[in-house]
């Protein structure tokens, strides 16, 4: 079955964004056919003419033809690689260009809401706060796209700073409180009083925690709970996020950590979302030396968990 699927040339051409005759499998197939054909022809030729010259000439013709087909295979591979590179370059450039106006909005809004908020009416403040939230959402989207481009190019940079995971988790839960309240979701936390510090990237670890918690909250249908558990053990810190949300269908569980993945039932409940969060989160956790998994039953709920190693050098 797998072999047949792999040999679906039309599908391959579509996936790669090239025409059928440019698809590497097709060209390979063509080359194979041609070699068989030529061997048969040469066989017959050598039957009729018993002269080495004819054989040498026909062999040369064959080599030339095989060479040119091989050449077009390489060409089409090159084109695919080039298009791919252009795509990620485009994402990088576009996101950087978007970052300048985003930085401006970021700081101007903060000025408006901190040092200059006296004189604003309640209504005006509310509007400014809404704009602030939109700005944050957009900054997040741009960052996600940039992160994906960086992960794909293998150059995602993570800060190395001391991180207090409890502080991050508290802040993230706080940020998700309004969302949870409006969706009738109860968030509960079980955590130790103190955790050793770990070394990592504060902002990005917060992104990981936020992805898990906000996903859990978002994909609860009507009313439900999100349970967060943090514990230390074995030189690691484990974080569990369990919900009784819509869950992920069995047949889609393999692609949960792929980029742009959104499960069928998730799309039905929540139209928003890029499907980048978990892909990025898993990559961040792994780059920090940890791991991320999940378990999910459709209609019952999901639990996601990850661990990050405790760097002993810091906690002496």
Partner 1 sequence: MFTSMEKKKILIIEDDSILQKALQEFLIAEGFETLSALDGEEGVKIGKEKKPDLILLDIILPKMDGYEVLKAMKSDESTKNIPIILLTNLGSLNDVEKALDLGATTYLIKADYKLEEVAKKIKEVLNI
The residues in 167-206 that bind partner 1, with binding defined as CB under 8 A, are 203
Neighbouring residues of 25: CB distance < 8 A, sequence distance ≥ 6 = 6, 7, 9, 12
Measure the CA angle with vertex 134, ends 133 and 137; round to 5°: 90
Q: List strand residue ranges (DSSP E) for 60-191, in order.
A: 161-163, 185-190
Q: Are 189 and 174 in contact (CB under 8 A)?
A: no
CB of 156 to partner 1, least distance (A): 9
Burial (CB count <10 Å: 0-12, 13-18, 19+), residue 284? buried
Rg value, the chain, Cα:
28
Answer yes or no whether residue 72 interacts with partner 1 by CB under 8 A. Answer: no
- Applying CB under 8 A, the site for partner 1 has a residue count of 20
Query: Taking CB under 8 A as the rule, does residue 107 contact partner 1?
Result: yes
Shortest CB 112 distance to partner 1, Å: 10
Among 14, 59, 108, 286, binds partner 1 (CB under 8 A): 108
Tell me how far, at minimum, the Cβ of 98 lies from partner 1, in Å: 9
Under the binding rule (CB under 8 A), the answer on residue 88 touching partner 1 is: no
Asked whether position 89 contacts partner 1 by CB under 8 A, the answer is: no
Contact 202, 169 (CB under 8 A): no
- String of contacts with partner 1 for each residue 134-173, x by CB under 8 A: -----x--xx------x----x-x----------------
Residues 6+ apart with CB under 8 A from 250: 298
Q: Which of 106, 175, 238, 274 binds partner 1 (CB under 8 A)?
A: 106
Residue of 68, 71, 103, 137 that binds partner 1 (CB under 8 A): 103
How far lies 264's CA from each of 214, 247, 257, in Å?
A: 18, 10, 15
Nearer to partner 1, 55 or 128 (CB): 128
In this complex, which beta carbon is closest to partner 1, that of residue 155 or of residue 193? 155
Reduced to 3 states (helix: H, G, I; strand: E, B; else coil), residue 185 is strand
109-138 residues in contact with partner 1 (CB under 8 A) are 110-111, 114-115
In the complex, the residues that contact partner 1 under the rule CB under 8 A are 96, 99-100, 102-104, 106-108, 110-111, 114-115, 139, 142-143, 150, 155, 157, 203
């Amino acid at each position: 079955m797998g072999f047949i699927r792999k040999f679906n040339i039309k599908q391959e051409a579509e996936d790669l964004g090239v025409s059928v005759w440019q698809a590497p499998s097709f060209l390979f197939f063509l080359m194979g056919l041609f070699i068989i054909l030529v061997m048969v022809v040469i066989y017959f030729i050598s039957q009729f003419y018993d002269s080495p010259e004819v054989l040498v000439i026909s062999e040369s013709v064959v080599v030339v033809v095989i060479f040119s087909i091989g050449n077009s295979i390489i060409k089409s591979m090159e084109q695919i690689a080039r298009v791919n590179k252009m795509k990620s370059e485009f994402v990088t450039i576009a996101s950087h260009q978007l970052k300048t106006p985003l930085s401006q909005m970021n700081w101007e809004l903060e000025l408006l809401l901190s040092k200059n908020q006296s004189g604003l009416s309640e209504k005006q403040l509310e509007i400014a706060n809404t704009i602030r939230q939109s700005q944050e959402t957009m900054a997040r989207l741009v960052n996600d796209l940039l992160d994906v481009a960086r992960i794909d190019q293998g150059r995602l940079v993570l800060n190395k700073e001391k991180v207090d995971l409890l502080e991050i988790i508290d802040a993230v839960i706080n940020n998700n409180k309004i969302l949870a309240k409006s969706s009738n979701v109860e968030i509960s936390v079980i955590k130790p009083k103190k955790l050793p510090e770990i070394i990592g990237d504060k902002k990005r670890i917060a992104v990981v925690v936020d992805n898990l918690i906000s996903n859990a909250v978002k994909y609860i249908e009507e009313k439900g709970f999100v349970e967060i558990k943090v514990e230390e053990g074995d030189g690691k810190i484990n974080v569990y996020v369990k919900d009784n949300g819509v869950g992920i269908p069995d047949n889609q569980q393999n692609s949960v950590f792929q980029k742009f993945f959104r499960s069928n039932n998730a799309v039905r409940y929540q139209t928003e979302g890029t499907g980048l969060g978990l892909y990025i989160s898993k990559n961040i956790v792994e780059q920090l030396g940890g791991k991320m998994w999940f378990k999910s039953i459709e209609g019952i709920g999901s639990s996601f968990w990850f661990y990050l190693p405790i760097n002993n050098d810091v906690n002496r």
